[in-house]
């Protein structure tokens, strides 16, 4: 049988590859971005309560009403925006599904979608499957700031959509109010739509404010704003996220969602609704929780030959390994895992064209202290 792949350039994701390599070699896994500490006990109790109460069948396609209303109320509390829970909030099976749905809701064959490199690896395959073309605009290779002149230059008559991510994976860089002003002007001038990937929205440090698209009415009117309960509540394996978008965009989004996953794990939706309403301090204190981990990990890295870059948000630490090796990043990550027992993620898979001679790797500090201590003990020997 002759088969022509629809995604000929896609292989197994780098996160899966490095986690498997870590398992094979007994390495400390600081590669794939998942916490290795427990989810909040109250969340587990609420999940158990929901299952025992009989919430084990299909949830409404758009999400259970109590969760959608909790999301809308939280968005108003955090960002000052009025959200209609019935027509503008959709619960999805993870943020990745929400991003896929949003792209396929509004992007057609022949369209162009601007992505900012380094970019999370789920963006481009969804664009390709829609018959569109990803147009890659590089961020600054050290600060990961946006060059808005380059973004404006990348816009063509075919441009339909722009994807942004703040706090940024893999760098942790964050959009400023000035970035949001430039973004608003760009969207208005060229009549573009936006996906704002905000899965690390509550993991921000040093008194910074997360500049959500929802804070800016002129941006929110054109945007799918995507978030993840997995990142906020340490339960990435539950795969529950959501998208907030204006009613007209949500209506198209839901057409894709209902024939993709249709609905999302029911008891978890009730559990998250209870957490949002009854324990808001969890997401309110999440930045401080992770800042303590970041600061401790950075202090430990100062005892190694790895040079940490600034981390304004998220739970990843980029390190410059130039003092350790001249290997390209993918080779370095494999060497570090196999020979020194610490798994990291190279940056090159996040790019269409990686910067020449870039020597950066991504480490995840969303780990127990014992995990990070074990990793540092090995990294000190480099």
Q: Quick one: CATH architecture of 14-39+284-379?
A: Alpha-Beta Complex (3.90)
Output the CA torsion 336→341→345→347 (10° steps). -10
User: 17-31, 95-109, 257-271, 308-322 — which is least confidently predicted?
Assistant: 17-31
Q: What is the DSSP string of 46-106?
A: HHHHHHHTT--SPPPTT--HHHHHHHHHHHHHHH-----HHHHEEEESSHHHHHHHHHHHH
Helix (H, G, I), strand (E, B) or coil at 38: coil
- List, for residues 338-360, the tens digit of each pLDDT value: 999 999 999 999 999 999 899 99
What is the predicted pLDDT for the residue at 2?
Answer: 86
Domain edges within the chain: 14-39+284-379, 41-279
Q: How many residues does the chain have?
A: 382
Verify cis geometry, omega within 30 degrees of 0, for the bond prior to 18.
no
pLDDT value at 52 more than 90: yes
What is the structure's pLDDT at 179?
98
Residue 250 clears pLDDT 90, i.e. is over it: yes
Q: Yes or no: say if 140 and 147 are a contact pair by the CB < 8 Å rule.
A: yes
Around Cβ 80, how many Cβ atoms within 10 Å?
Answer: 11
Q: Judge contact between 37 and 371, C-beta under 8 A.
A: no
pLDDT band of residue 9 (cuts 50, 70, 90) is confident
Average pLDDT, integer, range 12-30: 92
Q: For residue 94, give both structure tokens.
A: 């993870």
pLDDT above 90: residue 234? yes
Q: State the DSSP code for 349.
A: G
pLDDT category at 162 given cuts 50, 70, 90 is very high
pLDDT for residue 266: 98
Query: Computed from CA positions of residues 34, 198, 271, 55, in that sequence, does the dihedral angle turn out positive or negative?
Result: negative
* Residues paired with 134 in a beta bridge: 113
Q: What is the mean pLDDT of residues 145-163?
A: 98
**CA distances, 10 to each of 7, 15, 133, 147, 369 (Å):** 6, 13, 15, 28, 35
Closest to 75 measured CA to CA, from 63, 89, 94: 89
Residue 32 has pLDDT above 90, yes or no: no
Residue given tokens 């970035």 in the structure block: 179
Strands 342-343 and 28-29: parallel
Contact 243, 196 (CB under 8 A): no
Could you tell me if residue 137 is left (phi over 0), alpha (psi between -120 and 50 degrees) or otherwise beta? beta
Q: Report the pLDDT value the prediction gives residue 1, as an integer from 0 to 100.
A: 81
Per-residue pLDDT, 107: 98
Q: What is the pLDDT of residue 11?
A: 84
Q: What's domain 41-279's architecture?
A: 3-Layer(aba) Sandwich (3.40)
Helix pair angle (41-52, 266-278), 10° resolution = 130
Cβ partners under 8 Å of residue 114, min gap 6 = 134, 135, 137, 151, 154, 155, 159, 161, 162, 163
Report DSSP state, residue 117: E
CA–CA distance from 118 to each of 303, 349, 355 (Å)? 28, 8, 10
Q: How far apart are CA 154 and CA 145, in angstroms?
A: 16
Two tokens at 19? 């986690």
With a threshold of 0.95, does the pTM exceed it? yes
Round the average pLDDT of the chain to a whole number and report it.
97
131: confidence class by pLDDT, cuts 50, 70, 90: very high
**Percentage of residues in the chain with pLDDT exceeding 90?**
95
């Amino acid at each position: 049988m002759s088969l022509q792949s629809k995604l000929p350039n896609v292989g197994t994701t780098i996160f899966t590859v490095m986690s498997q390599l870590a398992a094979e070699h007994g390495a400390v896994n600081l590669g794939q971005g998942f916490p290795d500490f427990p989810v909040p006990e109250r969340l587990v109790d609420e999940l158990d309560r929901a299952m025992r109460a009989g919430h084990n069948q299909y949830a409404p396609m758009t999400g259970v009403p109590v969760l959608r209303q909790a999301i809308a109320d939280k968005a108003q509390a955090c960002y000052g925006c009025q959200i209609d829970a019935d027509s503008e909030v959709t619960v999805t099976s993870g943020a990745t599904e929400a991003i896929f749905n949003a792209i396929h809701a509004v992007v057609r064959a022949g369209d162009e979608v601007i992505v900012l490199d380094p970019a999370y690896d789920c963006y481009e395959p969804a664009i390709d499957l829609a018959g569109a073309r990803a147009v890659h605009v590089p961020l600054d290779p050290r600060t990961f700031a946006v060059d808005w002149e380059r973004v404006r230059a990348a816009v063509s008559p075919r441009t339909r959509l722009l994807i942004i991510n703040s706090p940024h994976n893999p760098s942790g860089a964050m959009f400023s109010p000035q970035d949001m002003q430039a973004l608003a002007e760009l969207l208005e001038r060229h009549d573009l739509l936006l996906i704002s990937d905000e899965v690390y929205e509550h993991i921000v440090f040093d008194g910074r404010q997360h500049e959500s698209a929802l804070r800016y009415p002129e941006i929110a009117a054109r945007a799918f704003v995507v978030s993840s309960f997995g990142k906020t509540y340490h339960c990435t394996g539950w795969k529950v996220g959501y998208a907030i978008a204006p009613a007209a965009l949500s209506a198209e989004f839901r057409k894709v969602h209902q024939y993709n996953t249709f609905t999302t794990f029911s008891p978890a939706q009730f559990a998250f609704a209870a957490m949002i309403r009854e324990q808001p301090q969890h997401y309110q204190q999440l930045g401080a929780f992770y800042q303590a981990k970041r600061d401790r990990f950075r202090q430990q890295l100062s005892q190694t030959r790895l040079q940490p870059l600034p981390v304004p948000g998220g739970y990843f630490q980029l390190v410059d390994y130039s003092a350790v090796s001249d290997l390209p990043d993918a080779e370095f990550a494999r060497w570090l895992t196999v020979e020194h027992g610490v798994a990291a993620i190279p940056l090159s898979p996040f790019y269409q064209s990686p910067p020449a001679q870039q020597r950066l790797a991504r480490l995840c500090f969303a780990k127990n202290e014992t995990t990070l201590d074990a990793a540092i003990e090995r990294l000190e020997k480099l």
